[in-house]
Structure 1
Amino acid sequence: MPMKGRDPIRRTLQYLRQGKVHLRDNVQIFTINYTQKGTASKGTRDFIYWNLGQLQYKSPHVQILTFKNLTPSPCIRAWLDTGEEVVMDIDSKTNLEILETIQKVFGKSKDTLAAEESAKAKQDNPANFGEGFLRKCICEVPGQVPCPGFVELPKEMRGKYKSMEKQ
């Protein structure tokens, strides 16, 4: 299927996963104010075009809004879970400078990301079974039918018995 539209690469999962900024858990709402014309908002427009999708993908718990032509100078506002409001001036900054500033102020550190990743990998789900899990077979779970190698199945549960019964 051909990808249509302007710069369709922005809508691929591979591109969205390449985002480097993960917003902290205490950030609830994240707004970006900019103007559609003028050089002061050029970097902000580029940021919204290229990086906002990545930011939304990496931080699904945050409500992200953009406001066009409401303020004369571009700025970012973030509301935290404590009720505080943080305002950043991004006037005449480039796309990458805005990304670095967001990472410094609102982003998770590399240590936090590594700790979250290791905690996520260590989660053992008791419903999983097989090699490398707590149980090798589903028959080890209480309430399940035991393996036919250890306990013979009732005749009603055997396919051979059912097919003989139909004749």
Structure 2
Amino acid sequence: MASTLRTQLLSLACLVATVALVNGSCIGTIKGFMKEGKHLIGGWRPLQMNDASTVEKLEALAQISATLYNEMSNDLRVYEAKPLEEGAPLVQEAYTQLVNGINYCLRFTMKSLACKNSGNCETKSMQCDSQVYTQFSWDPKANDLESTPDVSVPIDCTPISGSSAKSAKSENSIGQNMVN
């Protein structure tokens, strides 16, 4: 009886964590749970970005997220996942969750490259949070359409002016409220 109740409570906690992630910034939600003392709720764990293959995977997932952002956003600009400056990391933070594959929650930066139409638009940089699911066997070097990563929306993006990435308010989010 106690075991069944414990299992039900754990399932409910995972459901709450998943619903919270679907409705906003995955990094913000995970950090919020950790701040409340609910470490690793829903199985999310910080990912150490200290080897080349992990960084390569995360950068590929950031590029895939940026592509989806461009397809779904009503922003006038076309973005590419890029570090803010030379030598800075593209992905600043990442978490993983094992769920019959791997869920990644990553924070990365994007820069605008051009305008979607032939008009004139100013350059813009953003910091984005994206949740992406991959199969265990996914390899960024392989061109396997059956194991293509699945990006969840919203992709939550915050405009960056100078080095104020942490103090900016969230303004661009595809899949929910979209702002030019």
Higher Rg of the two aligned structures: 1
TM-score normalised over the length of structure 1: 0.26
Higher RCO by CA contacts (8 Å cutoff, separation 6 or greater): 1
TM-score normalised over the length of structure 2: 0.24
Higher strand share: 2
Higher helix share: 1
